[in-house]
Amino acid sequence: MAAFTLYDYVLSGNCYKIRLFASLTGLAYDSVAVDFYPGFEHRSEEMLALSPAGTLPIIVAGEQVMAETNDMLVWMAEQSGKGADWYPVATPEDAANMQQALALSSRLTASVGLARLNAMLDWPVDGAAKRAEGLKDLRELRRLDGCKWLVGEGPTVADIACFPYAALSPDSGLDHDGFPSIREWLYQIRSLPGFITMPGIHALHELRG
């Protein structure tokens, strides 16, 4: 039985976070494809009734509707039955680190994500400014220096939240040269059992080929 319905766009990094985490946790879901571009279906009256902000993804679980990606990941962690593993906030330090990492994931969406849309779809934003912001946000991932994961000793929702736009940053002209810790972290996430791809993010065997 499906745990939720996902309103999805295949090229969205935020939607991919949900598909990826569902695969990693084994959560079943129904998918509804939304014509984000060029149809702008996410701005239709039906979709705005679900998400007044006009954003994707959207999760509907019974009477509950979620339109904030990080909230969805935390909810999914609890639904998986392994919330303490995927969302470890037992100590004040872990809770603070988790919130910092989730905030960074939102900034990556607003910087690298919009720079990518500008580069790929000529989205009406200042691409150069967004790339500059994106480079700053990627540099913040230097917190990985000497660490395998963003929070604690294993993969968490923080890693899943930050992964897509870090991995997709070359689409916006921001490569990973000079960021060996980011490259190693991307490799570790691609190595997780249940990892799935999206356009622009490849599996390990494809990278080696």
Tens-digit pLDDT profile for residues 44-93: 898 899 989 999 999 999 999 999 999 999 999 999 999 999 999 999 99
* Tens digit of each residue's pLDDT (9 = 90 or more) over 105-117: 999 999 999 999 8
Residue 139 phi/psi, 5-degree rounding, is -65, -30
Closest CA to 58 of 84, 80, 29, 81: 29
The pLDDT assigned to 209 comes to 45
Residue written as token pair 């766009």:
9
Structural domains in the chain, sorted by start: 4-82 (3.40.30.10), 88-208 (1.20.1050.10)
Residue 42 has pLDDT above 90, yes or no: no
The pLDDT assigned to 142 comes to 75
How far apart CA 11 and CA 91 sit, in angstroms, is 36
The type of residue at 151 is: V
Q: Would you call 98 helix, strand, or coil by DSSP?
A: helix
Contact 59, 51 (CB under 8 A): no
pLDDT category of residue 40 using cuts at 50, 70 and 90: confident
Instruction: Output the average pLDDT for the chain.
Output: 92
Task: Tell me the two tokens of residue 25.
Answer: 């946790």
Which residues on adjacent β-strands are paired with residue 29?
4
Q: The pTM is what?
A: 0.93
Residue 96's contacts (CB-CB under 8 Å, 6 or more residues apart) are none
Residue written as token pair 């040269």:
177
